[in-house]
Amino acid sequence: MMINKVVFDGQALAIEDICSIARQQATVELDQHAEFITRIDKGALFIDRLLQEEGVVYGVTTGYGDSCTVPVPLSQVGELPKHLYTFHGCGLGAHFDAPTTRAILAARLTSLARGYSGVRYKLLQQLATLLQHDILPLIPQEGSVGASGDLTPLSYVAAVLAGGREVVYQGEQQSTATVFARLNLEPLALKPKEGLAIMNGTAAMTGIACLAYQRAAYLSQLATRITSLVSVALQGNAYHFDEKLFSVKPHPGQNRVAERIRADLQLTQSAPRHDARLQDRYSLRCAPHIIGVLEDSLPWLRQFIETELNSANDNPIIDAEGEHVLHGGHFYGGHIAFAMDSLKTAVANLADLMDRQMAQLMDPKFNHGLPANLSGANPEVAMLNHGFKALQIAVSAWTAEALKLTMPASVFSRSTECHNQDKVSMGTIAARDCIRILELTEQVAIACLLAAVQGVELRGNTDALSPSLKTTIAQLREHSPFLSSDRALEQELRVGLGLIREQYWQLYG
């Protein structure tokens, strides 16, 4: 596997950069040029000068949030960052896994490297060190309303930079102090604006969103390949994906899905028309229209996510060049919230589509001559075998759970923090919901892939299939043999899930 290098130099990064770091497919490097170091440090020096002049800066010489009217004496200013990450140490729920934690760290480093947060280059070095040594703060998933940023999750990052709380290092949960001592790393004493700069941003939801985007884009292609296999298994009408037909409704993503299915089914404009059935059921005939919604959403979802990723999204913004402290609300995660609420609906529709396709494959009333439940048993023992019957039930359960989670989180804003945070984004909840829907839809996908391949093989004449479909079948059969008699499928499903998440199947260019 090729290892890339991602350089944090204040220039824009892509979703793929964050995902590569998250999956340890890229190394992290912080720009060491003097010009970059000077530009970053200039903001921190400006804050120092304001303090010497006894300027009033939110979160530096005042309390936080509704407490912004409470002045902090200069003699106590140095203690404020520690108090900030300390009292926010109240997260609960499961902890983010290693890839997600790396994505969160990378997202925060991307934003701070823009140079508008009033932090030292030394702070960026400390964040980069965590990624370079794979020292991962133990971050609870629950406790952020998505404005003022991801305060509680990111407090665990701030605390670890300062040598506190716990991390996962080399697969073990350990105290940060122990790991730092082992690696001869110095805890960072956070300067006045630095605690706020780390915590008052959208890094948790944005890091999650990067991972969600990439998983969804792959699922779109996998659902397309599964549709092609199901069409073969059900002896579907391939001309539902005709090029001329789709030219009159020119959604680009929808047409891209139809084009992929045409290629899988080896359908060309010059091919003779043999429409075995005039019209297939919607889960085949309308598959490009369903998958196409996600495909057509990907460009604007990328725009939302990457713009947020490459923004200065804390408060206040420090304009060291113009010597301004700009108080605003860039911590608000509304764009990520909307993107994740939208993405989770599009992905859940893939689960629903594949669930309906599987229902057709199982049922002899609709599967055009395939055995009930796709059983591959010999006639002598057919009465004992139940094929994919239980797996279809499981697919229905996973689909229902995915659909239930599509309720938008962004409309559930709650007024909090003495009505200072009276309208919040709920972006992190939306992103977490999206990940769960992706997990469930991936489970549906591997189950439907097993069933579709079984159906194709039961139909016979696999030699006539396109090279792309033959490749998918061969890749699956390396890990899961034909179901000729009942067996527990859990381990094969788990292996297949891992392969989906590694993007193992060769799909479309």
- The number of C-alpha atoms within 13 Å of 180 and in the hemisphere containing its C-beta is 19
Residue 275's pLDDT is what? 58
Q: Report the length, in residues, of the chain.
A: 509
**Per-residue pLDDT at 115:** 97
Give the pLDDT confidence score for residue 52 in this predicted structure. Answer: 78
For residues 101 and 92, what is the distance between their CA atoms, to the nearest angstrom? Answer: 15
How far is it, in rounded angstroms, from Cα 212 to Cα 200? 22
Residues facing 6 on adjacent strands: 28
What is residue 383's predicted lDDT score, i.e. its pLDDT? 80
- Tokens 């860039």, residue? 330
Q: List, in order of start, the domains of the chain with CATH numbers.
A: 4-201 (1.10.275.10), 209-312+333-501 (1.20.200.10)
Residue 315 · residue 58 · CB < 8 Å: yes
Catalytic residue among 58, 239, 504, 508: 58
Does residue 508 carry a catalytic annotation? no
**pLDDT score of 421:** 81
Q: 3-state SS of 90-150? A: CCEEEECCHHHHHHHHHHHHHHHCCCCCCCCHHHHHHHHHHHHHCCEECCEEECCCCCCCC
Residue 269 is predicted with a pLDDT of: 58
Task: List CB contacts of 126: < 8 A, sequence separation 6 or more.
Answer: 161, 188
Lookup result for tokens 């590694």? 502
With H, G, I as helix, E, B as strand and everything else as coil, classify residue 324. Answer: strand
Whether a cis peptide bond, with omega within 30° of 0, leads into 371 is no
- The distance from CA 402 to its chain's CA centroid, rounded to whole angstroms, is 15
Task: Count the helices and strands in the chain (H runs, E runs).
Answer: 18, 9
Backbone angles phi and psi of 115, in degrees to 5: 90, 20
Instruction: Please state whether 5 falls in left (phi above 0), alpha (psi between -120 and 50) or beta.
Output: beta
Cα radius of gyration (the chain): 26
* CA separation for the pair 335, 337 (Å, rounded): 5
Residue 6 has φ and ψ, to the nearest 5°, of: -110, 125
Contact between 342 and 293 (Cβ < 8 Å):
no
Secondary structure letter of residue 310 according to DSSP: T
Q: Please, are residues 428 and 386 in contact by the beta-carbon 8 Å criterion?
A: no
**b vs e for 35-46, b when ≥16 Cβ sit within 10 Å of the residue's Cβ?**
ebbebbbbbbeb
* CA distances from residue 81 to 59, 109, 451, 491 in whole angstroms, order as listed: 9, 18, 55, 48
Provide the pLDDT for residue 268. Answer: 73
Question: 100-124: per-residue pLDDT in tens?
Answer: 999 999 999 999 999 999 999 999 9
- What is the rounded distance in angstroms from the CA atom of residue 148 to the CA atom of residue 411? 17
| pLDDT the model gives residue 48 | 86
Q: What is the Cα–Cα distance from 197 to 312, expressed in whole angstroms? A: 10
Rounded to an integer, what distance in angstroms lies between the CA atom of residue 330 and that of residue 366?
54
What is the model's pLDDT at position 88? 94
Question: Cα-Cα-Cα-Cα dihedral of 146, 149, 150, 156, to 10°?
Answer: -160
Q: In whole angstroms, what is the distance from residue 213 CA to residue 344 CA?
A: 10
CA dihedral of 233, 235, 236, 239, whole degrees rounded to 10: 120
How confident is the model at residue 385, as a pLDDT?
85
What is the model's pLDDT at position 99?
98
Kindly tell me the burial class for residue 25, based on how many C-beta atoms sit within 10 Å of its own C-beta (0-12, 13-18, 19 or more). Answer: middle
| Entry pTM | 0.95
The tokens of 228 are what?
């092609």
Alpha helices in 409-466 (DSSP H): 427-459
Helices 98-112 and 151-161, axial angle in degrees (round to 10)? 80
Are the C-beta atoms of residues 285 and 356 closer than 8 Å to each other? no
pLDDT tens digits for 312-322?
999 999 999 99
Q: What is the mean pLDDT of each run of 10 residues along the chain (509 residues)?
A: 88 98 97 98 91 70 65 75 92 98 98 97 98 98 94 97 98 98 97 91 98 98 98 96 97 98 86 68 97 98 98 94 91 96 98 98 95 88 88 98 97 86 91 98 98 97 95 97 95 98 91
